[in-house]
Amino acid sequence: MKSNPAFFLIASFCTVLKVSGAVIGTNVPATPLTAERVATLPAWKNYLENSVRQRQADQNFLRAEMKEHGVKQNTEPPKTGNAKGIDLNNPAAWYGGAEARRIADNLVSFQTPAGGWCKNTDFTKHRRAADEMFGALSGSLFLSTNDFDRPQDERWSYVGTFDNDATTTELRFLAKAAATGTNNTSLCAAFLHGLDYVFAAQFPNGGWPQVWPLQGGYHDAITFNDDAMLHVIEFLRDVSAGQNEFVFVPPELRAKADASWKRGVNCILAAQIVVDGRRTVWGQQHDAFTLQPASARNYEMPSQSSGESGTIVLFLMQLPEPNSKEVAAVHAAAAWFEKTKIEGKAFRVVGSESRKLVDAPGSGPIWARYYEVGTDRPIFGDRDLTIHDDVNEISRERRQGYGWYRDTPKRVLEHYAKWAKAHPPEKI
C-alpha cells in the first residue's frame, strides 16, 4: 500500500498533541455592563446611571479636596496584601478600647464618598491625609498588551470593592467598635453609610459586582471569586439578625438587609450552570446580565470553578431551613464534585521545574480549579490568553503563581454525607 505523506503528517501532529498537551482555545474578555445592553430595561438602566453618577461624585470629591489643600499629586497610602490589622477576632471589650477606636477612626477617614473601601491597603497606620488616595494602587505587575487586567484609569481602580474581603471587613470592624458604648455617633454613621453602599451595589437580579461604582471589564461581573459575593451575603444575613454588634442597626435597615441577602441567594441559584438539563456548579464570575460564566484575568476562563462552588455549597448547607431549590442545588453540585474528583495525583514542586501535576498513589481527592463547561475536563489558562488541557504545559510563572487545584470539595462531600440524610432529594 502506498504511503500518504499527508496522513503521516497529521498522525505525527496528533501524536505530539497527545504527548505534550494541546492549546484548546483562546480566552476572550468579559463583557462589561454598558448603556447599550440595558437601554430597554428601566431597573438596569437606573442602576448603571447611579453607578456613573457615584463614580463621578467620588472623583469630584477628591479633586475638590486636592484644590482646597493645594495638592498637585496624590500620594499612595501604605500597602498590604490583606486586611492587615483589622482583627475581627478580639474579645468584645477590646473594640471599646483606645487602639480599636484609633483604627476605626482611620477606617472612617478612608471610606470613599460612595461608602466603600479599597483593597490591599493598611488602614491601621494613620488617618487619611488630604493628599492621599482612598487606597493603595492594586494593578497587576505583569500587564501585557490587551491585558484584561489593565484598568481604565491606573490611579482609580478598586474604588471601592468587595475583592480580597474589602468593605465587608471594614464594616464588621466598625460595627464592633460602634456597639461598644457612647460617643460612637461617627462610627455608627460610617457603618450605615457603608450599608447603603452595599445596597446600592447590588444588581437588580440580586448579584454583586467585584467593584462599585462599576469599573468596567470583568470587574462588572457577578463575582464569586475569592468568595466576594458570599461574604456580602453573609454580612447582610448577620446584619438582618440584629444581634451582637449589629444591635444598633435600625429595624427598617435590618429588614432591608434580610431581603437583600435572600435576593442574593436566589441569584446564586439562578446562576448555577446547567448542562444538558442538569445543574452542575458555578463559575468564578458570571455575566451580570445573562448569568453565564465569564472570564476575568487573561488566564481565568469562563468555566466551572471547584473552589468557589465548594464554598457556595458549604454556605447553602448551613441554611437552617433550605427550600426545595436550595436542596436541589446542593444535591446537583455534590454529584458534580463526585464525578470530577481526581485521585492519585498531586500538584507540587518537581525538582527545578516548579509545580507540576504528578502521579501520587494514595493522594487525593483533589479538583482542578477550572473545568470546561460541557465536557468537565480540567482546563488551564496562561497570560498569553491560551487555554490548555494540561497544567504542565502552561508557563512556569503561572504554574508557580496560581492555585490550579483545590480540595475544598472534599470538605463539601464530607459534610454532604450527613446533610443529605436530613435533606433527601425530591422524587420526580
Q: Provide the CATH number for the domain around residue 320.
A: 1.50.10.20
Tell whether 238 and 373 lie within a shared domain.
no
Local structure of 73: helix, strand or coil: coil
3-state secondary structure 133-185: CCCCCCCCCCCCCCCCCCCCCCCCCCCCECHHHCCHHHHHHHHHHHCCCCCCH
> Considering the domain boundaries, does residue 334 fall inside one?
yes
- Give pLDDT, residue 14: 38
- How many domains does the chain contain in total? 2
Give the residue from 305, 331, 281, 307 showing the smallest Cα distance to 407: 307
> Considering the domain boundaries, does residue 10 fall inside one?
no
- pLDDT, mean of residues 42-67: 97
Cα–Cα distance, 351 to 349 (Å, whole number): 6
Tell whether 242 and 103 lie within a shared domain.
yes
> Considering the domain boundaries, does residue 2 fall inside one?
no
pLDDT top residue among 14 and 359: 359
Tell whether 255 and 280 lie within a shared domain.
no
Taking only the tens place, the pLDDT of each residue in 214-264 is 999 999 999 999 999 999 999 999 999 999 999 999 999 999 999 999 999
- Give pLDDT, residue 83: 58
Which cell is 372 given? 470546561
- Cβ distance 422 to 322 under 8 Å? no
Please check the confidence at residue 10 and state whether its pLDDT lies above 90.
no
pLDDT exceeding 90 applies to what percent of the chain? 86
> Considering the domain boundaries, does residue 24 fall inside one?
no
- Give pLDDT, residue 47: 98
- Give pLDDT, residue 427: 64
Which residue, of 210, 238, 271, is where some domain finishes?
Answer: 271
- Give pLDDT, residue 4: 39
Tell whether 307 and 171 lie within a shared domain.
no
Residue keyed to cell 477590646: 94
pTM, two decimals, is: 0.93
Active-site residue (options: 128, 237, 279, 297): 297
Tell whether 253 and 287 lie within a shared domain.
no
**Is 146 labeled as catalytic in the residue annotation?**
no
Taking only the tens place, the pLDDT of each residue in 308-358 is 999 999 999 999 999 999 999 999 999 999 999 999 999 999 988 889 999
Active-site residue (options: 164, 205, 225, 298): 164
- Give pLDDT, residue 144: 76
Burial (CB count within 10 angstroms: exposed 0-12, middle 13-18, buried 19+), residue 400: exposed
Taking only the tens place, the pLDDT of each residue in 103-154 is 999 999 999 999 999 999 999 999 999 889 999 988 777 877 789 998 888 8
Tell whether 62 and 130 lie within a shared domain.
yes
Cis ω for the linkage preceding 250 (within 30 of 0): no
Confidence of residue 387 (pLDDT cuts 50, 70, 90): very high
> Considering the domain boundaries, does residue 21 fall inside one?
no
Supply the mean pLDDT for the chain. 92
- Cβ distance 80 to 120 under 8 Å? yes
Which range of residues forms the domain containing residue 415? 274-428
Which residue, of 230, 256, 271, is where some domain finishes?
Answer: 271
> Considering the domain boundaries, does residue 306 fall inside one?
yes
Please check the confidence at residue 2 and state whether its pLDDT lies above 70.
no
How far is residue 194 from each of residues 99, 190, 199, 352, 406, measured CA to CA in Å? 22, 6, 9, 48, 33
> Considering the domain boundaries, does residue 18 fall inside one?
no
**Is 164 labeled as catalytic in the residue annotation?**
yes
Cα–Cα distance, 158 to 151 (Å, whole number): 9
- Give pLDDT, residue 16: 36
Segment among 29-38, 175-184, 393-402, 403-412 with least mean pLDDT: 175-184
Taking only the tens place, the pLDDT of each residue in 270-304 is 999 999 999 999 999 999 999 999 999 999 999 99
Confidence of residue 81 (pLDDT cuts 50, 70, 90): confident
Segment among 15-29, 164-178, 286-300, 352-366 with least mean pLDDT: 15-29
Cα–Cα distance, 102 to 99 (Å, whole number): 5
Tell whether 89 and 46 lie within a shared domain.
yes
Tell whether 250 and 343 lie within a shared domain.
no
